[in-house]
Amino acid sequence: MRQATGILDFDTSRQGLLEITREVADWTAAQAMTEGLLTLFCRHTSASLIIQENAAPEVRTDIEAWIARLAPEDPNAYAHRDEGPDDMPAHLRTILTQVQLAIPLIGGRLALGTWQGLYLFEHRRRPHRRGLALHLIGE
């Protein structure tokens, strides 16, 4: 059994979903394992990770609109707003999604479904540099 760890950094330009499937798949392939389990961990409290459809762009637009309705940017709704009106809603949006994903590695490839992609979900309006920790265990 082998292990590999790494950090991938992503620059976000706006609030919303950023597809990271290719970068994660490339990192995984470089580890030269055929079977195992990849864990991704988002090292932030105002960004998250999701697996979602990567074919129809409307899916991403609808998800972004839906999450904005669930945790709106309302300056009167929250006591915590140290970094602006999108600060506390960003934390709530992270609670609603997730900061960790586990994806099987089968035959040297991530076992994602046909229409599935990996996304970093930026919950803040201004650009950020986001770090993801990766841990692959396998053979």
Q: What is the pTM of this model?
A: 0.96
The residues, any chain, with a CB within 8 Å of residue 106's CB and separated by 6 or more, are: 35
Across 85-89, average pLDDT: 94
Would you place residue 81 in the very low, low, confident or very high pLDDT band (cuts 50, 70, 90)? confident
pLDDT of residue 97: 96
Residue 55 has pLDDT above 90, yes or no: yes
CA 30/CA 5 separation, integer angstroms: 12
Predicted pLDDT of residue 75? 84
The CATH number given to 2-133 is 2.60.120.460
Q: What is the mean pLDDT of the chain?
A: 97
Helices (H), the chain: 21-30, 57-70, 87-96
Please report the pLDDT score of residue 87 as a whole number.
94
d(C-alpha 63, C-alpha 61), whole Å: 6
